[in-house]
Amino acid sequence: MKGLIYAITLCFAICCLALPSSWAAPPTDAAWEKKWNTTLAEAKKEGTVSVYTSWGAAGRVAVTKAFKDKYGINLEFTNFGRGALFIAKYQAEMNAGISMADVFCVGASTLLVMAKPAGFMGQIEPYLILPEVVDPKAWRGGSFFLDKDKQAIKMAGNTMRFVGVNTNMIKRGEITSYKDILKPQYRGKVTLNDPSIQGAGIGLFGHLALHIWTQEEASEYMRQLLKNDTQVMRDQRLQGEWLVRGRSSIALALDANGFNELIGAEAPIEPVVMKEGTYISTSDSALAVPKVSPHPNATKVFLNWLLSNEGQRVYSGPSGAMSLRGDVPPTGINPGFIPGPTEKTFTDTEEYILKRGTLLDVTKKIFTQSAK
């Protein structure tokens, strides 16, 4: 009997030694908890996280209060209306050898097209500690990384309803495809945010050229819009006012924030679900860290909290962005901007963002030629 027990024990030991290293047991609860508690203690000594962001006021206020109430750590936001302003400020700081920012919470394009090539960004993965944050199953699509080098995270998204209509002029179901907008009855009744500059217009063109059609097909579509007397506009507020007042019946690439404000004010407009599919933009819900952080521990606590279920619930509603966590409902999001269960959706990838960044030269050529 003893010999049998010895043989079984020996066999079990040999099998364990033969297991691949990738099968090693995950860290115990005690391991991450110890790391978290040590980090939290040091974070409270640092007392501050400096956040460079393009978030709106509502999101900043909600997150600041909730984080301060929970951990007693201050969030100091430096707000930038445009990505170029953020890039200029941080570049000046780098040139002067100054390190002031702990976290970047800005647009995905700002991070991948400008900040990353400039060498602003460090590795964010080592900052992540909580199991609920690093668990791939917690995130829609199985990952929250925006780029192949894992330097940027996409935590939430805005559903880009690129077509808005005046409901007093367009019946529900009248428009279901982008090509419907080329019909003769809409001649002179359509506005388009200028795709030849940074903004929602180039977002629409990128969606058409890289998600739905080819670049040439999207270019021809723009030419046809212009032939149909589409009014190209740069002033987003004016574009919204025209739609509300009935001066136009269809608005293409109306800014999402402005769209939401008008709907909230009960204006007679609504977004249209297009059969070709919709684009969910990371918008200003992209995260990154600089190579050197003045408050590294407080930064770790902030990022882990923000990416947790609790943090995403606080952020999502006021910001108007849907969390990409699967366990966070779209509370506070206008129903028209929540993709349906069968709706085809496209999300940001590094390849898409970089390719879209090259399309401005294409659109500039289209609209320059049409102006002649």
> Long-range contacts made by residues 229-234, C-beta under 8 angstroms, separation at least 24?
229/187, 229/188, 230/190, 230/191, 230/192, 231/188, 231/190, 231/191, 231/192, 232/191, 232/192, 232/193, 232/194, 232/367, 233/191, 233/192, 233/193, 233/194, 234/193, 234/194, 234/197, 234/199
158 phi and psi angles, rounded to 5 deg: -110, 125
146 and 293 part of one domain: yes
Total tally of structural domains belonging to the chain: 2
Compute mean pLDDT per 10 residues along the chain, 372 residues long, and list them.
43 39 50 96 98 94 98 97 92 96 95 96 98 96 94 96 97 97 98 91 96 98 97 94 97 84 86 96 95 97 98 93 95 89 93 93 88 57
Residue 62 pLDDT: 97
Residues 359 and 227 in one domain: yes
Q: What is the pTM of this model?
A: 0.82
Is 19 within a domain?
A: no
The CA distance from 151 to 289, in Å, is 8
Q: How far apart are CA 189 and CA 191, in angstroms?
A: 7
Q: Would you state the pLDDT for residue 261?
A: 79
pLDDT score for 372 = 56
We report the CATH number of the domain holding residue 209 as: 3.40.190.10
Q: Are residues 196 and 254 in the same domain?
A: yes
Partnered with residue 16 across adjacent β-strands are none
In this prediction, residue 299 carries a pLDDT of 98
Cα angle: 282, vertex 286, 290; to 5 degrees: 160
pLDDT at residue 82, as a whole number: 84
Contact, 177 vs 275, CB < 8 A?
A: yes
Same domain, 360 and 312: no
Asked if residue 98 belongs to a domain, the reply is yes
Residues 125 and 215 in one domain: no
- Does residue 80 share a domain with residue 135? yes
Owning domain of residue 239: 162-272+351-371
**What is the SS3 assignment for 185-219?**
HHCCCEEEECCCCCCHHHHHHHHHHHHHCCHHHHH
How many residues are given for the chain?
Answer: 372
Q: Check whether residue 41 and residue 67 sit in a common domain.
A: yes
- What is the residue whose two structure tokens read 């929970």? 70
Q: Do the domain assignments include residue 186?
A: yes
Amino acid 122: pLDDT: 98
Please report whether residue 176 resides in a domain. yes
Q: Are residues 262 and 167 in the same domain?
A: yes
pLDDT of residue 370: 66
Asked if the structure places residue 25 within a domain, the reply is no
Q: How far is CA 58 from the centre of its chain?
A: 17
Determine the Cα angle at 291 with ends 90 and 132, to 5°.
115
